[in-house]
Structure 1
Amino acid sequence: MSQQVVLTTSSHLEGYRVIEHVDIVSSECVFGMNVLKDMFAGFRDFFGGRNKSSQNALRDARIACLDELRTEAAQMGANAVIGIDLDYSEISGGGKSMLFLVATGTAVKVRRA
């Protein structure tokens, strides 16, 4: 059921009409980045180029957060989430690094226009 929830960063869905604003939904995900990934990211930063492990971690965090957002909206009876905002942060200290992602949006019920 939650896979049927439509997600968009836009304030509307083309071809649909918002019939009810249900509530604000949010999802918070924290992912640990291990020391080796951090070390290789440092080498990549120094020598240049793309860092695949960091890109994969960012993609995985985004997918997990949006899946949670979809599930929360479905549990509220919504069939779409509009105005989605994704905020990424890095938390580091004590030799550890964490990727923090917050996804927020407005859960709504929509109907084809």
Structure 2
Amino acid sequence: MAEITITTTDSLEDREVTEYLGVVSGEAVIGANVVSDIAAGIRDVVGGRSGSYEKKIESGRTEAIDDIRAAAEELGADAVIGAGFDYEELAEGMLWVNVSGTAVRTRGQ
């Protein structure tokens, strides 16, 4: 099967939605080792941004996208439309990343 397209839009250019298969979601929980991460954060904060935390968030987002792609594939979808991301702090040092959208089958390019 071809790579499943994931988009935040409600449609895909040059493709027609032929079947709505249902809501799919993926999630990841990112944990932070507070002591080592504070030390790393002090070293890599540039312009108010922490590269190490940004990498952890990116990693969590990638895991959540992999999960939603697998869930869509199980339904026989070739795309997920209307994908949205949610980030929530579960506890100090723990971040929950969720992505959800609608799995669909399409026709077109």
**2:60 alignment partner in structure 1:** 61
> SS in structure 2 opposite 1:4?
coil
| CA distance in structure 2 between the partners assigned to 1:86 and 1:100 by the alignment | 10
> How many residue pairs are counted as aligned between the two chains?
107
| CA distance in structure 2 between the partners assigned to 1:98 and 1:77 by the alignment | 33
After TM superposition, the structure 1 = structure 2 runs for residues 83-98 of structure 1, keeping only pairs within 5 Å, are 83-93=82-92, 97-98=93-94
Runs of 4 or more above 6 Å deviation: none
| CA distance in structure 2 between the partners assigned to 1:50 and 1:98 by the alignment | 18
After TM superposition, the structure 1 = structure 2 runs for residues 26-41 of structure 1, keeping only pairs within 5 Å, are 26-35=25-34, 36-38=36-38, 40-41=40-41
| CA distance in structure 2 between the partners assigned to 1:40 and 1:65 by the alignment | 25
| CA distance in structure 1 between the partners assigned to 2:57 and 2:27 by the alignment | 13
**1:22 alignment partner in structure 2:** 21
| Structure 1: stretches of 5+ with no match in the other structure | none
Does 2:109 align with 1:110? Answer: no
> SS in structure 1 opposite 2:58?
helix
The TM-score, its normalising length taken from structure 2, stands at 0.87
State percent identity of aligned pairs: 36
The TM-score, its normalising length taken from structure 1, stands at 0.84
Shift of 1:91: 2.0
- The change in CA–CA distance for 1:19 and 1:32 in structure 2 (over 3 A counts) is same
| CA distance in structure 1 between the partners assigned to 2:88 and 2:105 by the alignment | 31
AA of the residue aligned to 2:37: K
- The change in CA–CA distance for 1:47 and 1:27 in structure 2 (over 3 A counts) is closer
